[in-house]
Amino acid sequence: MKTKKIYKYVLMAALIAPLTLTSCSDDFLDVTPPDKATLQEYYSNKEHIMEAVVSTYNPMRQYDWNNVQYAPLQLCSDIMADDVWVGGGTSSDNLFLQKMSNYASTQNPGDALTGIWDQSYKGIRNANDVLTYIEWAKAALTQADYNTFMAEAKVLRAFYYMQVWKFYGNIPFYFENLKSPYIGEQKSADEVYEAVISDLESAIGLNALPMKWDDKNLGRMSQAAAYMIYAEMVMYQNDESRYTKALGYMREIINDRQNYDLNPDYANIFLESGEWTKESIFEIGYMDDGAVRAWGGGVINAGGTVYPRFISPRDYKESDGVDNGWGFEPVRLETLDLFDEGDVRKDATIFDSRGKNCDTKSWQYTGLWLKKYLAYKDNNKDQKADGDLNFNNNLRIYRFAETLLNAAELIVRTGGNMADAEEYLNKVHHRAGLTDNKAATIDNIIDERHKEFVGEGKRYWDLIRTGKAATTLVPDAYGYRTNTWTEKKKYLPIPLSELDASHGTLTQNDY
């Protein structure tokens, strides 16, 4: 029971508050919004502004399942990389995922990734709302509170835009919510990047967010989280003009030893006891304590996640505390060979069910599973609705290890102090139980990232930004992936429903 995770109870209370006032519905096009005067009266004090801020976190918690599509944030990129398969019951189970993995997505219903699009734009809309509401409530807010809410909303907006930018590239873009006919101007990926990164710089420049929130507010965007979003966007864009600034932000986190450091035990990172340690910079929080997320409408309820059920072995019957699942995201056999002898990350990353009582062999079965988010029976025992949807595994988005590796890479790319780069790289390498020292080269750093972040949604984007995708993401020997990744596959097709709703103003990606 997560008694120490007070922020989860704060989130639960706020998320079931009057969401009708924040237009938090499944489809904002179908909403008849409250009268503006009513809204303005409601959002006139700090307490109600805080409700709007917290509701902006809700969409990211629904990437895993939004009553329409399973689209766990890290899974959606990892299945397009080279560490895991899609899996599931059959070759057509969650067909859109199978097609994504083979670079064969289409715009059609059932083939297109909609979950990332839908949830991200809900988050963007909610963040835009907050920025409107704080102007209404400005007289009732201290300058410090006003700046904090502004910075937090802008960082959240950047986080959501980053997702649709990476997956779709050329997207509808707006910093003020749309009015009828609800059609946003489509911007190129480069235009979206420049607008979002500049706005994120303004949020960071307010210096209004703490480097790490206290225990009562864990789960909120911090200054360190903003720095990590900034570095991720800059490095993915290969924006050399901002490398030095991004490196400076990484050094600020590294030098903040009071708040951030490596967890000495890699395996502990992904346990309940490893949540919000010094290793953690940002996590998407889930809970099972009294959780009420349920099928057929539970999407608006605070609670747990379905992800562990989704990726665990089918019909697992051992008495070792591991629960059964649906057989998605089996780890490739080749991923076992990724790790050097003595690397503790291997056993902490991969759960091997081969030779155990596991009756059903799912599609693309290997007997290897992602241990970082495995379903354990203790992790949903306190939920009150549906056990499938209410596991308490927090999703680790940014860890201190990534800060160190970002800094090492940025030092190399800017011609900085190589001793520092090697120190940062080898801190991560040595934590894995390895005693040799690695030279700070781009290839070595990317290789270390590969081993450190298996199953954390980093690999696919690293292959693209380093120019390795076209030579790495090729047909396999099993006949599962028959297509080769090309630059045209960088951006997924925009869902047909969005094209139709745009009345011809959106141009489909050339996929």
Q: Check residue 222 and give its pLDDT.
A: 99
Q: What is the pLDDT of residues 323-381, one digit of tens each?
A: 999 999 999 999 999 999 999 999 999 999 999 998 788 999 999 999 999 999 999 99
For residue 278, the tally of other CB atoms under 10 A from its CB is 16
Q: Which of 61, 48, 2 has the alpha carbon at shortest distance from 302?
A: 61
Residue whose C-alpha is closest to residue 126's, from 152, 146, 92, 107:
152
Give pLDDT, residue 301.
60
The pLDDT of residue 2 is 55
Tell me the chain's radius of gyration from C-alpha atoms.
22
Task: Say what the pLDDT of residue 378 is.
Answer: 97
Q: How many CB atoms lie within 10 A of CB 12?
A: 19
pLDDT value for 284: 97
Are 301 and 347 in contact, with CB atoms under 8 Å apart? no
In tens digits, the chain (511 residues) has pLDDT values of: 454 443 454 444 444 444 333 333 333 333 344 667 789 999 999 999 999 999 999 999 999 998 899 999 999 999 999 999 999 999 999 999 999 999 999 999 999 999 999 999 999 999 999 999 999 999 999 999 999 999 999 999 999 999 999 999 999 999 999 988 888 999 999 999 999 999 999 999 999 999 999 999 999 999 999 999 999 999 999 999 999 999 999 999 999 999 999 999 999 999 999 999 999 999 999 999 988 898 876 555 668 999 999 999 999 999 999 999 999 999 999 999 999 999 999 999 999 999 999 878 899 999 999 999 999 999 999 999 999 999 999 999 999 999 999 999 999 999 999 999 999 999 999 999 999 999 999 999 999 999 999 999 999 999 999 999 999 999 999 999 999 999 999 999 999 999 999 999 999 999 9
**pLDDT value, residue 300:** 53
Contacts of 45 (CB under 8 A, 6+ apart): 137, 140
Degrees, nearest 5: CA angle 125-127-128? 65
336 with 321: CB under 8 angstroms?
A: no
Decide if 507 contacts 170 (C-beta within 8 A). Answer: yes
3-class SS of residue 368: strand
Give the HSE-up count for residue 365: Cα atoms under 13 Å, Cβ half-sphere: 17
Decide: residue 480, CB within 10 A, 0-12 exposed, 13-18 middle, 19+ buried. middle
pLDDT of residue 181: 87
Q: How far apart are CA 140 and CA 146, in angstroms?
A: 9
Distances (CA, A) of 144 to 128, 149, 239: 19, 9, 32
So what's the pLDDT on residue 273? 96
**What is d(CA 193, CA 392) in angstroms, rounded to the nearest whole number?**
33
H helices, E strands: number in the chain: 20, 6
Count of C-beta atoms within a 10 Å radius of residue 169: 18
Helix (H), strand (E), coil (C) string for 53-122: HHHCCHHHHCCCCCCCCCCCHHHHHHCCCCCECCECCCCCCCHHHHHHHCCCCCCCCCCCCCHHHHHHHH
Q: Give how far Cα 440 sits from Cα of 155, 245, 404, 417, 472, Å.
A: 31, 20, 12, 10, 22
